[in-house]
Structure 1
Amino acid sequence: MTEGLLVLWDIDHTLVETRGVGRELWATAFHEVTGVEMREQVSIDGLTEPVIVRETARLHGVRYSRKLFEEFARALGAAHLRHVTAMRERGRALPGALPLLAALADCRGVRQTVVTGNIRSAAEVKLAAFGLGRFLDLNVAAFGEDADERPGLVSRALERADVPPSRAVLLGDTRADVQGGLALGVRVIGVATGRTGVDDLTAAGASAAVADLVDTDGLLRLITA
């Protein structure tokens, strides 16, 4: 078994899906902060929260600033805390996510964390709602507050964990996840549980891609190879 390995997880559509709750809470926070009803939202696949806020604000004629993002982040985190029950009832951990995280947690020398475009408070609610947070070291995680682009998030997590890229593996469901890992020299495994298929994840440069997380034993071998 490989020792000294850092496993970096994306959250949305890799480990969990909120089935519309996340978008509803996002729209609530956007209206609270800007006074504008959200008519549309930019395509969020692989984007970090600051970029989603910036581009969605632009679509609504709202001037973006870092202060606006910080206010939005506070509102979004509070909304997630208020609606954690709805998150739990309507969303879910994706099939295989819980047993795979539990199995990796039992592997000697393996640490798991997240590299996500979510703000920290929202990410913590999602992970806790579906019983995943206890397997993850969030002290070395990277969240939407940490960088606007995926490579910056991966870099921050590696720095916090004090792990070289050669001792890390990233799992994510978008081309942006793949490209973010590769930019730092991290091995990437694509997980086709979002809107990007196995072939597209492989074409983006993933060293391997899987349809889902259901095959615990097979994924353990793949991740720790």
Structure 2
Amino acid sequence: MTDLRLVIFDVDGTLVDSQSHIAAAMAAAFEGEGLPVPPLADILGVVGLSLPVGLAQLAPDLPEPTRARMVDRYRERFFALRVGNAASPLYPGARDAVEALAAVETNLLGIATGKSRRGLDHLLEAHGLGHHFVTTQVSDNHPSKPHPAMVLAALEETGVAPDRAVMIGDTEFDIEMGRAAGVRTLGVSWGFHPRARLAAADAVIDGFDALPAALARFWDR
């Protein structure tokens, strides 16, 4: 089939609202070292980066061994929250949007996330969505966003040309990653970065109900 299209989703802040888990895990990382917890806006501002890179931005003056302990503590806390509570909830309309896209024969769905493989697999299993995604790229195997490696790997795995692919995300890192890989970019305003930081996207939507029309405009170009 020659007209395949690839729709790549970010996860945190795009498909799922993980703000409370991220904030709690980051608080544990800082408090464990006796450090003040950064403001929530600063924490959300680095969501999308790989965890070591995000922590380096939040605490650039700390020695590397201290940040390494904080990475471990964040992960321990996040996994404890994951086990003790339900998975981070899907945003309204996310499930319907994914299922509707997957039902179209020419659509292939992918994921490019700063999550680990372990974290992503748990989330997809918890929500029963894993079977919809034919390519899933995680921070374990790639440089941090906005490096284009994850999108380039998704294109290679699916055989879809860049001009038939779109990266959907809530952060400027998602948009920069997609642009660097040569694909179209669609920002979502309900996530962790304010709309102003999504200005480089080809378009920005305010709800999943606007997704079909936005994608149709991309494909018709």
- Deviates further, 141-150 or 42-51: 42-51
**Which segments of 5 or more consecutive residues in structure 1 lack a partner in the other structure?**
none
- How does the TM-score come out when normalised to structure 1? 0.76
Matched with 2:51 is 49
Matches of 2:47 and 2:105 in 1, distance apart?
33
State whether structure 2 residue 11 is matched by structure 1 residue 14: no
1:77-96 map, 5 Å: 79-84=77-82, 86-88=84-86, 91-96=88-93
Matches of 1:45 and 1:18 in 2, distance apart?
10
Residues 181 and 86 (structure 1 numbering): CA distance in 2 closer, same or farther, change over 3 Å?
same
Residues 49 and 56 (structure 1 numbering): CA distance in 2 closer, same or farther, change over 3 Å?
same
Q: 1:36 corresponds to which letter in structure 2?
A: E
Residues 75 and 23 (structure 1 numbering): CA distance in 2 closer, same or farther, change over 3 Å?
closer
Deviation of the 1:216 alpha carbon = 5.8
Deviation of the 1:84 alpha carbon = 2.7
Deviation of the 1:161 alpha carbon = 3.1
State whether structure 2 residue 211 is matched by structure 1 residue 210: no
Matches of 1:8 and 1:111 in 2, distance apart?
8
Q: 1:63 corresponds to which letter in structure 2?
A: E
Residues 133 and 185 (structure 1 numbering): CA distance in 2 closer, same or farther, change over 3 Å?
same
Secondary structure of 2:168's aligned partner: strand
Residues 157 and 189 (structure 1 numbering): CA distance in 2 closer, same or farther, change over 3 Å?
same
Identity of aligned residues (%): 28
State whether structure 2 residue 120 is matched by structure 1 residue 123: yes
1:148-167 map, 5 Å: 148-150=144-146, 151-167=148-164
CA deviations on 1:77-100 (whole Å, 9 max, x unpaired) are x655543355527x4201111000
Q: 1:5 corresponds to which letter in structure 2?
A: R
CA deviations on 1:113-171 (whole Å, 9 max, x unpaired) are 1111222222223333334333223xx32212211232233223323333331221111
CA deviations on 1:153-201 (whole Å, 9 max, x unpaired) are 322332333333122111111222112111111011111112322x653
Q: 1:107 corresponds to which letter in structure 2?
A: V
Matches of 2:35 and 2:122 in 1, distance apart?
23
Q: 2:166 corresponds to which letter in structure 1?
A: V
Q: 2:49 corresponds to which letter in structure 1?
A: L
Secondary structure of 2:33's aligned partner: coil
**Which segments of 5 or more consecutive residues in structure 2 lack a partner in the other structure?**
none
State whether structure 2 residue 101 is matched by structure 1 residue 104: yes
Q: 1:113 corresponds to which letter in structure 2?
A: G
Over aligned residues, Cα RMSD in angstroms? 3.3
CA deviations on 1:2-56 (whole Å, 9 max, x unpaired) are 931111101111111124112323454x479xx6255335531442323113334
Q: Number of aligned residue pairs: give it.
A: 212
- How does the TM-score come out when normalised to structure 2? 0.77
Q: 2:125 corresponds to which letter in structure 1?
A: A
Matched with 2:172 is 175
Residues 218 and 80 (structure 1 numbering): CA distance in 2 closer, same or farther, change over 3 Å?
same
Residues 200 and 105 (structure 1 numbering): CA distance in 2 closer, same or farther, change over 3 Å?
same
Matches of 1:46 and 1:85 in 2, distance apart?
22
Residues 115 and 87 (structure 1 numbering): CA distance in 2 closer, same or farther, change over 3 Å?
farther
State whether structure 2 residue 153 is matched by structure 1 residue 142: no
Matches of 1:3 and 1:38 in 2, distance apart?
53
